[in-house]
Amino acid sequence: MALRTLLFDFDGTLADSFDAITASVNHVRAYHGLEPLSGDTVKSYVGWGLPHLMNVIVPHVPIDDAVQQYRMHHTSVIEEGTRLFPGVMHTLTALRQRNYFLGVCSNKAVHFTRVLLGLLGIKDLFDIVMGPEDVDGRAKPLPDMLLSALQRLGVEPAEALYIGDMSIDIETARAAGVPVWVLPTGPQSAAHLLNLRPDRLLESFPDVLRYLPVE
């Protein structure tokens, strides 16, 4: 079947948001009397959703309380601490010109994803933006987000491609029956990702255009 849709992860795939995440993580830790964590350490914990992240960084705190503290702080740092990876704007614009459906399926709280897409100037390039809240909290690696996005777009899994930056993205795409490409721009190295046998390992975001079939 011909490719009709490209779905993307957000953190580590479309944008480098790790400065903002680290700032909010350390705000929560400071509130509970804990020392700050380095950016690299925080980065290694990102990708499995906010409740998981809070359980790792403040395990003695009720998750709902920690999540609320994080979210209240995060609005103050998301714009300054998030930037698109090189080539993302150009690549997404070119994909729209080729008439692909585009979507975001991320374990990030969907409110923050939508705010950031607007701040970064790429919101209007996407047909659908989804987070765990849209599928009753069934976050990646469960396939629900991808399958729901495709259903809403009227697209079969074989007509889609998922692009992420982590092992969880590979696992999610496999569970959904969707081919998956990955970038080494998140917390996991190219060698680690390659060992997990994605359908393709990209060097940089513009490689998406390089490897898509020419219409």
Q: What is the DSSP string of 50-93?
A: HHHHHHHHSTTS-HHHHHHHHHHHHTTTTTTT-EEPTTHHHHHH
The class (CATH top level) of 18-74 is: mainly alpha
CA distances from 190 to 54, 143, 167 (A): 27, 23, 11
Exposure on the CB side of residue 42, measured as CA atoms within 13 A: 24
Question: The whole model's pTM is what?
Answer: 0.93
Mean pLDDT, to the nearest integer, of 175-189? 96
* Distance between CA atoms of residues 139 and 143, nearest Å: 8
* Beta carbons of 144 and 133 less than 8 angstroms apart: no
Residues 101-159: tens digit of each pLDDT = 999 999 999 999 999 999 999 999 999 999 999 999 999 999 999 999 999 999 999 99
Q: What is the CATH number of domain 5-16+82-211?
A: 3.40.50.1000
Every domain range in the chain assigned CATH 3.40.50.1000: 5-16+82-211
Q: Is 80 exceeded by the pLDDT of residue 1?
A: no
Every domain range in the chain assigned CATH 1.10.150: 18-74
End-to-end CA, the chain = 14
Q: Residue holding tokens 């976050």? A: 139
Provide the total of helices (H) and of strands (E) in the chain, helices listed first: 10, 8
3-state secondary structure of 136: coil
Residues 5-52: tens digit of each pLDDT = 999 999 999 999 999 999 999 999 999 999 999 999 999 999 888 999
* Distance between CA atoms of residues 126 and 6, nearest Å: 10
Sign of CA dihedral 154, 156, 157, 162: negative
* Beta carbons of 157 and 145 less than 8 angstroms apart: no
Residues 57-111: tens digit of each pLDDT = 999 999 999 999 999 999 999 999 999 999 999 999 999 999 999 999 999 999 9
User: CA nearest 107: which of 149, 61, 141, 136?
Assistant: 141
CA distances from 33 to 28, 29, 93, 130 (A): 9, 6, 45, 34
Q: What is the reported pLDDT for 49?
A: 87
Q: Residue holding tokens 């990955």? A: 182
Q: What is the reported pLDDT for 215?
A: 57
* Distance between CA atoms of residues 25 and 58, nearest Å: 9
Q: Is 90 exceeded by the pLDDT of residue 213?
A: no
- pLDDT grade for 207, boundaries at 50, 70 and 90: very high
Return mean pLDDT, the chain.
95
